[in-house]
Amino acid sequence: MPNAGRLPGRALLECLNCPSPSEALCARATPDTLHLLARYKSPNREVKAGEDIFVPGDPSRMICSLLSGWAFRYTLLEDGRRQILDFPLAGAVLRFHPSRGSSTTFGAQALTDCVVCAIPYAALIEASRQQPAIGLHLATLISQDFSLAVDHLTSVGRQSARERVAHLLLRLFVRYRVQWPDFRLEEMHLPLTHEHIADATGLTFIHVCRVLRSLRTDGIVEFRYHRLRILDPDKLADVAEVDPQLLLRRAAPGPFSRPDGIGGGLTARANSRGTIGGQDHQSAWA
């Protein structure tokens, strides 16, 4: 029935070999559903670092996912001011745009070489009919995006420059830690310029530079030559005014990842002095 009368084409092979992680939209699709999606999807597209994956105003209604690489999403004001929204990693849905007649206001650009995949909206409707969990899974993914946007908005709207930069770096680092828990180093590759950080935090790159210097001389974080090193996790969490445990829980979740009851309610903040990814509280990083 699925893939009726056809050879397993390139598209299906792409789907079967898809590198995106288990939280991705089609990661839990049944074989039938995967066949369906593979039949309608566009060929995977490779995007070079620095190129746009899609631009603001693109009217296409394809659901677009990031299979591998680092990207960022952004909006532009008419006079060219740019706001970076987030830095999606592999597996993220970059765009889900169900409304006809309008277009996404944001764009997405590759920070490293990326591979993206696009599925027509109509195919998604059909797939979710076949496997209803897909609709809710998509809702969950977008809801996570919303949560992250909320954190980001709070930081940009209500924190000082120093707090914002610390917040952003901490979030990036925590997420990296969750995705590659094997590396125990307080260090990561971060393919950003000062200008990216500025556009994400709502500052000028000049001021970002000053803030980074101050954070470095205070022995908190170091960001040079595209490497981020966390020198003092506790101080960093303190400056950023976030509970790293809470960040972790948000970065890791997926609807099925943890039993109920962990860290519910407002008491979570109580224990926030654990080093980030150090030997203590290591369970949270595992």
* Residue 72 makes contact with a second copy by CB under 8 A: no
Q: Which does 133 bind (CB under 5 to 8 A by kind): DNA, a second copy, none?
A: a second copy
Interacting span for a second copy (CB under 8 A) from 9-17, 212-220, 226-234, 250-258: 250-258
The interaxial angle of helices 244-251 and 161-179, nearest 10 deg, is 50
Q: Nearer Cβ to DNA, position 184 or 226?
A: 226
CA pair distance 285, 252, nearest whole angstrom? 9
Extract the runs of DSSP E, i.e. beta strands, from the chain.
Answer: 45-47, 52-54, 62-68, 71-76, 82-86, 93-95, 107-110, 114-120, 187-189, 221-224, 227-230
Q: Which residues of this protein are in contact with DNA, per CB under 7 A?
A: 160-162, 193-195, 202-207, 209-210, 212-213, 224-225
Using DSSP, state whether 82 is helix, strand or coil. Answer: strand
Q: Nearer Cβ to DNA, position 138 or 156?
A: 156
Main-chain dihedrals φ then ψ at residue 267, nearest 5 degrees: -80, -10
Report how far Cα 34 is from the mean position of its chain's Cα atoms: 23
CB of 185 to a second copy, least distance (A): 26
Among 2, 21, 120, 254, binds a second copy (CB under 8 A): 254
Q: Which of residues 100-139 bind a second copy (CB under 8 A)?
A: 100-106, 124-125, 128-129, 132-139
CB of 6 to a second copy, least distance (A): 26
Q: Give residue 266's identity as a one-letter amino acid code.
A: L
* Residue 143 makes contact with a second copy by CB under 8 A: yes
The residues with which 93 forms a beta bridge, in sequence order, are 65
Interacting span for a second copy (CB under 8 A) from 2-10, 38-46, 94-102, 182-190: 94-102
The residues with which 84 forms a beta bridge, in sequence order, are 74
Question: How would you write 111-163 as a 3-class SS string?
Answer: CCCEEEEEEEHHHHHHHHHHCCHHHHHHHHHHHHHHHHHHHHHHHHHHCCHHH
Token duo for residue 27: 């990661």
Q: Which does 275 bind (CB under 5 to 8 A by kind): a second copy, DNA, none?
A: none
Interacting span for a second copy (CB under 8 A) from 29-37, 46-54, 146-154, 170-178: 146-154
Q: Nearer Cβ to DNA, position 14 or 151?
A: 151
CB of 81 to DNA, least distance (A): 9
Among 13, 16, 142, 206, binds a second copy (CB under 8 A): 142
Site size toward a second copy, by CB under 8 A: 74
Q: Which does 278 bind (CB under 5 to 8 A by kind): a second copy, DNA, none?
A: none
* Residue 281 makes contact with a second copy by CB under 8 A: no
Q: Nearer Cβ to DNA, position 52 or 195?
A: 195
Nearest to 241 by CA among 165, 186, 189, 172: 165
Number of H helices, E strands in the chain: 10, 11
